[in-house]
């Protein structure tokens, strides 16, 4: 596998995002929603602190519990809605315009094509996360937050968003209809988000299975400042399976 070929595909698709309004709309919507959530959470936290001090209600909530965990937890929900718009065109548009045949016959391996497209969408997510660095900078300028939970929250959010991306690329490879690809991505990501809700009604064995399959249950440790290897392995495995299934779909398409 050639990193140069992967980067060539990634750079081409990344530029395509900004040749249409899609990247600007996604980034603007993300900034608007997250900006409102951050400043609302910050003002609510300050109001709570004033109430705790005024009525002597004991120790006030920490910045980690009052701001960091809610803000980055909500960020994962926003990515749940936005990632389908990022990935739905990656292979669907190639199929619709019949340019996928050129990709398949080019001197680039299928793995390089898939990784390149995955990297292009990941770069867009990284840019969006980079914009939110203004939030911890604001917190450090006005308070004394813990660095650990902020770092692990970013790591967990990046891994979780990458899982969404792997699902999106897989469904984009199945159809030439971008709306169908985006809808299936959102529905499947939401399923893996909420699958642990059924654990309360399941038996002890299935309860553990459902909790393990849940994307959000593996994020909880990141939000608390804990970097658990089992959570990282789960996310990396999820991403790997999504990209592997994409490879199998496109490989079968090549032989039709």
pTM of the model: 0.89
pLDDT at 144 over 70: yes
Specify the residue for token string 């039709």: 256
Decide if 82 contacts 23 (C-beta within 8 A): no
pLDDT of residue 216: 87
Least confident of 72-76, 138-142, 153-157, 251-255: 251-255
pLDDT of residue 256: 58
Mean pLDDT of 85-107: 80
Give the model confidence (pLDDT) of 206-251 as tens digits.
677 777 888 888 888 898 888 889 999 999 999 999 999 998 988 8
CA distance 94 to 101: 8
pLDDT of residue 56: 62
| Helix (H) / strand (E) containing 86 | helix 69-87
CA distance 150 to 156: 10
Mean pLDDT of 176-180: 89
pLDDT of residue 194: 82
Q: Long-range contacts of range 191-200, CB-CB < 8 Å, 24 or more positions apart? A: 192/163, 192/167, 193/80
């Amino acid at each position: 596998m050639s990193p140069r070929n992967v980067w060539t595909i990634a750079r081409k698709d990344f530029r395509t995002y900004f040749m249409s309004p899609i990247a600007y709309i996604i980034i603007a919507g993300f900034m608007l929603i997250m900006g409102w959530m951050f400043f609302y959470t910050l003002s609510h936290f300050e109001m709570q602190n004033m109430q705790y001090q005024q009525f002597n209600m004991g120790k006030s909530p920490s910045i980690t519990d009052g701001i960091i965990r809610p803000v980055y937890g909500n960020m994962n929900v926003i990515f749940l809605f936005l990632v389908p718009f990022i990935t739905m065109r990656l292979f669907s548009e190639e199929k619709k315009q019949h340019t996928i045949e050129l990709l398949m016959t080019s001197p680039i391996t299928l793995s390089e094509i898939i990784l390149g497209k995955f990297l292009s969408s990941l770069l867009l997510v990284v840019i969006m996360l980079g914009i939110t660095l203004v939030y911890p900078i604001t917190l450090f300028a006005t308070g004394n937050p813990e660095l650990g939970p902020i770092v692990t929250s970013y790591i967990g959010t990046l891994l979780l968003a990458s899982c969404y991306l792997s699902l999106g690329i897989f469904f984009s490879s199945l159809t030439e209809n971008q709306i169908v690809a985006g809808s299936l991505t959102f529905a499947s990501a939401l399923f893996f988000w909420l699958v642990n809700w059924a654990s309360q009604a399941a038996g002890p064995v299935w309860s553990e299975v459902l909790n393990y399959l849940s994307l959000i249950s593996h994020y909880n440790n990141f939000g608390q400042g804990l970097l658990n290897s089992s959570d990282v392995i789960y996310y990396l495995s999820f991403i790997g399976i999504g990209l592997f299934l994409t490879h199998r779909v496109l490989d079968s398409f090549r032989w039709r």
